[in-house]
Amino acid sequence: FEMQHEDVAGMPIWGKPTSTLDWCERNYEVFFWAAEFYNTISNIAIFIPSLFGLYQCVKYGFEFRFALAYASLALVGFGSWMFHMTLRWQMQLLDELPMIYTAAIFVFCSLDEQWSTGPRGKATALAMLAYPVMVTFVYLSNENALFFQLCYALAVVGIVLRGVTLLFRTRNRALRNIMYFGFICYMTGFALWLVDYHFCSYLRHFRTLYSVLAPLSEFHALWHIGTGFGSYMYVVYSCGIRAELKGYSIQIKHFIVPYLSVEDKSLPKKK
Protein backbone atom coordinates (compact mmCIF):
# COMPACT_ATOMS: atom_id res chain seq x y z
CA PHE A 1 0.00 0.00 0.00
CA GLU A 2 2.98 2.30 -0.41
CA MET A 3 3.95 3.99 -3.65
CA GLN A 4 7.40 4.92 -4.88
CA HIS A 5 8.14 8.57 -5.53
CA GLU A 6 8.58 9.42 -9.17
CA ASP A 7 11.64 11.31 -10.32
CA VAL A 8 11.32 14.99 -11.20
CA ALA A 9 13.84 17.24 -12.89
CA GLY A 10 15.90 19.24 -10.43
CA MET A 11 15.24 19.77 -6.75
CA PRO A 12 11.54 20.52 -5.98
CA ILE A 13 10.71 23.75 -4.16
CA TRP A 14 9.69 21.81 -1.04
CA GLY A 15 12.70 19.53 -1.19
CA LYS A 16 12.86 15.83 -1.94
CA PRO A 17 9.58 14.05 -1.07
CA THR A 18 9.73 12.17 2.22
CA SER A 19 6.12 10.94 2.49
CA THR A 20 5.37 7.22 2.50
CA LEU A 21 2.73 7.76 -0.20
CA ASP A 22 2.86 9.29 -3.65
CA TRP A 23 -0.45 9.38 -5.48
CA CYS A 24 -1.33 8.91 -9.13
CA GLU A 25 -1.13 12.57 -10.13
CA ARG A 26 2.20 13.42 -11.78
CA ASN A 27 4.43 15.43 -9.48
CA TYR A 28 5.06 19.11 -10.23
CA GLU A 29 3.40 18.80 -13.63
CA VAL A 30 1.09 21.84 -13.43
CA PHE A 31 2.80 24.41 -11.16
CA PHE A 32 6.20 24.48 -9.50
CA TRP A 33 4.74 25.21 -6.06
CA ALA A 34 2.48 22.14 -5.83
CA ALA A 35 3.72 18.57 -6.02
CA GLU A 36 0.16 17.43 -6.82
CA PHE A 37 -1.78 20.45 -8.03
CA TYR A 38 -5.28 18.98 -8.41
CA ASN A 39 -4.96 16.93 -5.23
CA THR A 40 -4.01 20.17 -3.48
CA ILE A 41 -6.66 22.62 -4.64
CA SER A 42 -9.47 20.06 -4.34
CA ASN A 43 -9.19 20.43 -0.57
CA ILE A 44 -11.12 23.67 -0.91
CA ALA A 45 -14.18 21.37 -1.01
CA ILE A 46 -13.30 20.26 2.51
CA PHE A 47 -12.08 23.53 3.98
CA ILE A 48 -14.72 26.06 2.84
CA PRO A 49 -17.90 24.10 3.78
CA SER A 50 -16.35 23.35 7.17
CA LEU A 51 -15.80 27.03 7.89
CA PHE A 52 -19.36 27.77 6.77
CA GLY A 53 -20.64 25.09 9.14
CA LEU A 54 -18.56 26.55 11.94
CA TYR A 55 -20.16 29.94 11.27
CA GLN A 56 -23.61 28.36 11.51
CA CYS A 57 -22.69 26.83 14.87
CA VAL A 58 -21.72 30.23 16.23
CA LYS A 59 -24.80 31.88 14.72
CA TYR A 60 -27.30 29.49 16.32
CA GLY A 61 -25.34 28.55 19.43
CA PHE A 62 -25.12 24.86 18.63
CA GLU A 63 -23.28 22.64 21.08
CA PHE A 64 -19.51 22.86 21.18
CA ARG A 65 -19.04 19.31 19.88
CA PHE A 66 -20.56 20.28 16.53
CA ALA A 67 -18.33 23.33 16.23
CA LEU A 68 -15.38 21.09 17.09
CA ALA A 69 -16.43 18.66 14.33
CA TYR A 70 -16.45 21.43 11.74
CA ALA A 71 -13.15 22.85 12.98
CA SER A 72 -11.46 19.46 12.91
CA LEU A 73 -12.79 18.80 9.40
CA ALA A 74 -11.33 22.15 8.31
CA LEU A 75 -8.01 21.04 9.80
CA VAL A 76 -8.18 17.87 7.71
CA GLY A 77 -8.62 20.01 4.60
CA PHE A 78 -5.69 22.23 5.56
CA GLY A 79 -3.47 19.26 6.38
CA SER A 80 -4.37 17.52 3.13
CA TRP A 81 -3.57 20.71 1.21
CA MET A 82 -0.13 20.88 2.83
CA PHE A 83 0.56 17.18 2.27
CA HIS A 84 -0.30 17.10 -1.42
CA MET A 85 1.45 20.40 -2.02
CA THR A 86 4.73 19.22 -0.47
CA LEU A 87 4.72 15.40 -0.23
CA ARG A 88 6.63 15.73 3.03
CA TRP A 89 6.23 13.17 5.85
CA GLN A 90 5.43 15.81 8.45
CA MET A 91 2.65 17.19 6.26
CA GLN A 92 1.38 13.65 5.62
CA LEU A 93 0.88 13.33 9.38
CA LEU A 94 -0.91 16.69 9.41
CA ASP A 95 -3.28 15.22 6.85
CA GLU A 96 -3.79 11.70 8.19
CA LEU A 97 -3.83 12.01 11.98
CA PRO A 98 -6.57 14.69 12.06
CA MET A 99 -8.71 12.29 9.99
CA ILE A 100 -8.68 9.78 12.86
CA TYR A 101 -9.43 12.41 15.51
CA THR A 102 -12.17 13.93 13.36
CA ALA A 103 -13.79 10.52 12.93
CA ALA A 104 -13.89 10.10 16.72
CA ILE A 105 -15.46 13.55 17.09
CA PHE A 106 -18.07 12.65 14.47
CA VAL A 107 -19.08 9.59 16.48
CA PHE A 108 -19.32 11.72 19.63
CA CYS A 109 -21.52 14.22 17.78
CA SER A 110 -24.01 11.47 16.99
CA LEU A 111 -24.39 10.20 20.56
CA ASP A 112 -27.50 10.68 22.67
CA GLU A 113 -27.59 13.27 25.42
CA GLN A 114 -27.04 10.76 28.23
CA TRP A 115 -23.75 9.73 26.59
CA SER A 116 -22.53 13.20 25.71
CA THR A 117 -23.21 15.31 28.82
CA GLY A 118 -22.30 15.27 32.47
CA PRO A 119 -19.85 12.78 34.03
CA ARG A 120 -20.90 10.04 31.62
CA GLY A 121 -20.29 12.39 28.70
CA LYS A 122 -16.77 13.15 29.95
CA ALA A 123 -16.03 9.44 30.31
CA THR A 124 -17.37 8.82 26.79
CA ALA A 125 -15.24 11.64 25.39
CA LEU A 126 -12.13 10.15 27.00
CA ALA A 127 -13.00 6.75 25.56
CA MET A 128 -13.46 8.30 22.13
CA LEU A 129 -10.10 10.04 22.49
CA ALA A 130 -8.34 6.81 23.44
CA TYR A 131 -8.81 5.31 19.97
CA PRO A 132 -7.11 8.06 17.91
CA VAL A 133 -4.37 8.39 20.53
CA MET A 134 -3.65 4.67 20.27
CA VAL A 135 -3.63 4.88 16.48
CA THR A 136 -1.27 7.86 16.65
CA PHE A 137 1.32 6.08 18.80
CA VAL A 138 1.24 2.89 16.74
CA TYR A 139 1.34 4.72 13.41
CA LEU A 140 4.25 6.89 14.45
CA SER A 141 6.16 3.78 15.43
CA ASN A 142 5.51 1.69 12.31
CA GLU A 143 4.72 4.33 9.63
CA ASN A 144 2.57 1.72 7.91
CA ALA A 145 0.03 3.27 5.56
CA LEU A 146 -2.10 0.12 5.49
CA PHE A 147 -2.44 0.21 9.29
CA PHE A 148 -3.66 3.79 9.16
CA GLN A 149 -6.10 3.08 6.34
CA LEU A 150 -7.63 0.13 8.18
CA CYS A 151 -8.00 2.12 11.41
CA TYR A 152 -9.65 4.97 9.55
CA ALA A 153 -11.96 2.58 7.70
CA LEU A 154 -13.04 1.05 11.02
CA ALA A 155 -13.89 4.50 12.38
CA VAL A 156 -15.89 5.34 9.23
CA VAL A 157 -17.89 2.12 9.59
CA GLY A 158 -18.81 3.19 13.12
CA ILE A 159 -19.90 6.61 11.88
CA VAL A 160 -22.10 5.14 9.14
CA LEU A 161 -23.74 2.60 11.45
CA ARG A 162 -24.53 5.29 14.01
CA GLY A 163 -25.86 7.57 11.30
CA VAL A 164 -28.22 4.85 10.09
CA THR A 165 -29.63 4.35 13.59
CA LEU A 166 -30.33 8.08 13.82
CA LEU A 167 -32.60 7.82 10.79
CA PHE A 168 -35.22 6.34 13.10
CA ARG A 169 -35.13 9.49 15.26
CA THR A 170 -36.57 11.86 12.66
CA ARG A 171 -39.43 12.05 10.19
CA ASN A 172 -37.93 15.12 8.56
CA ARG A 173 -37.54 13.98 4.95
CA ALA A 174 -35.12 16.78 4.08
CA LEU A 175 -32.90 15.87 7.01
CA ARG A 176 -32.96 12.20 6.07
CA ASN A 177 -32.06 13.13 2.50
CA ILE A 178 -29.00 14.94 3.84
CA MET A 179 -27.83 11.65 5.31
CA TYR A 180 -28.54 9.73 2.11
CA PHE A 181 -26.86 12.27 -0.15
CA GLY A 182 -23.88 12.62 2.17
CA PHE A 183 -23.42 8.86 2.17
CA ILE A 184 -23.60 8.73 -1.64
CA CYS A 185 -21.05 11.53 -1.94
CA TYR A 186 -18.67 9.82 0.46
CA MET A 187 -18.95 6.35 -1.08
CA THR A 188 -18.60 7.74 -4.61
CA GLY A 189 -15.43 9.49 -3.51
CA PHE A 190 -14.18 6.28 -1.93
CA ALA A 191 -14.86 4.30 -5.13
CA LEU A 192 -12.86 6.84 -7.12
CA TRP A 193 -10.06 6.63 -4.54
CA LEU A 194 -9.90 2.87 -5.11
CA VAL A 195 -9.72 3.30 -8.88
CA ASP A 196 -7.01 5.95 -8.57
CA TYR A 197 -5.06 3.74 -6.19
CA HIS A 198 -5.22 0.44 -8.04
CA PHE A 199 -5.45 1.49 -11.71
CA CYS A 200 -3.00 4.37 -11.82
CA SER A 201 -1.20 3.16 -14.95
CA TYR A 202 -4.46 3.12 -16.92
CA LEU A 203 -5.39 6.59 -15.72
CA ARG A 204 -1.99 7.98 -16.68
CA HIS A 205 -2.30 6.42 -20.11
CA PHE A 206 -5.71 8.04 -20.51
CA ARG A 207 -4.26 11.42 -19.55
CA THR A 208 -1.55 11.02 -22.15
CA LEU A 209 -4.08 10.27 -24.88
CA TYR A 210 -6.66 12.87 -23.83
CA SER A 211 -4.76 15.67 -22.14
CA VAL A 212 -7.74 18.06 -22.25
CA LEU A 213 -9.76 15.62 -20.13
CA ALA A 214 -6.86 14.82 -17.80
CA PRO A 215 -8.18 16.88 -14.83
CA LEU A 216 -11.40 14.85 -14.85
CA SER A 217 -9.38 11.67 -14.34
CA GLU A 218 -7.64 12.96 -11.20
CA PHE A 219 -9.78 10.68 -9.07
CA HIS A 220 -7.93 11.33 -5.82
CA ALA A 221 -8.90 14.99 -6.16
CA LEU A 222 -12.50 13.91 -6.73
CA TRP A 223 -12.21 11.78 -3.58
CA HIS A 224 -11.47 14.98 -1.67
CA ILE A 225 -14.57 16.63 -3.11
CA GLY A 226 -16.86 13.66 -2.44
CA THR A 227 -15.65 12.98 1.09
CA GLY A 228 -15.48 16.68 1.90
CA PHE A 229 -19.14 17.28 1.08
CA GLY A 230 -20.17 13.92 2.52
CA SER A 231 -18.46 14.61 5.84
CA TYR A 232 -19.86 18.14 6.02
CA MET A 233 -23.38 16.85 5.45
CA TYR A 234 -22.99 14.24 8.17
CA VAL A 235 -22.36 17.01 10.72
CA VAL A 236 -25.37 18.94 9.39
CA TYR A 237 -27.43 15.78 9.76
CA SER A 238 -26.23 15.02 13.31
CA CYS A 239 -26.74 18.61 14.38
CA GLY A 240 -30.25 18.63 12.89
CA ILE A 241 -31.19 15.43 14.74
CA ARG A 242 -29.96 16.95 17.98
CA ALA A 243 -31.89 20.21 17.46
CA GLU A 244 -35.10 18.29 16.75
CA LEU A 245 -34.69 16.17 19.87
CA LYS A 246 -34.41 19.38 21.86
CA GLY A 247 -37.72 20.56 20.44
CA TYR A 248 -36.56 23.12 17.88
CA SER A 249 -38.12 23.52 14.46
CA ILE A 250 -35.48 23.28 11.76
CA GLN A 251 -35.35 23.74 8.03
CA ILE A 252 -32.81 22.63 5.47
CA LYS A 253 -31.79 25.54 3.27
CA HIS A 254 -29.22 25.73 0.52
CA PHE A 255 -26.42 28.13 -0.29
CA ILE A 256 -24.13 26.09 -2.54
CA VAL A 257 -24.22 23.50 0.25
CA PRO A 258 -27.18 22.57 2.48
CA TYR A 259 -27.31 24.05 5.96
CA LEU A 260 -29.58 24.17 8.99
CA SER A 261 -31.91 27.04 9.71
CA VAL A 262 -33.43 27.15 13.20
CA GLU A 263 -36.55 29.21 13.80
CA ASP A 264 -35.52 30.14 17.33
CA LYS A 265 -32.05 31.66 17.02
CA SER A 266 -31.66 31.63 20.81
CA LEU A 267 -30.83 27.92 20.74
CA PRO A 268 -29.06 27.53 24.06
CA LYS A 269 -25.57 26.18 24.29
CA LYS A 270 -25.11 22.83 25.90
CA LYS A 271 -24.88 23.01 29.68
Q: What is the pLDDT of residues 109-144, one digit of tens each?
A: 888 765 556 667 777 788 888 999 999 999 999 989
Closest of 50, 55, 52 to residue 71, by C-alpha:
50
Note the pLDDT of residue 177. Answer: 94
User: What would you report as the CA-atom Rg of the chain, rounded to the nearest whole angstrom?
Assistant: 20
* Pairing state between β 257-262 and 250-255: antiparallel
Neighbours of 204 (CB within 10 A): 15
Query: Is-contact 229 49, C-beta < 8 A?
Result: yes
Confidence band for 271, pLDDT divided at 50, 70 and 90: very low
Q: 50: buried, middle or exposed (CB in 10 Å: 19+, 13-18, 0-12)?
A: buried
pLDDT mean across residues, the chain: 89
Q: For residues 204 and 248, which has the higher predicted lDDT (pLDDT)?
A: 204
Residue 95 has pLDDT above 70, yes or no: yes
pLDDT in tens, 139-150: 999 989 899 999
Confidence band for 1, pLDDT divided at 50, 70 and 90: very low
Strand partners, 255: 257
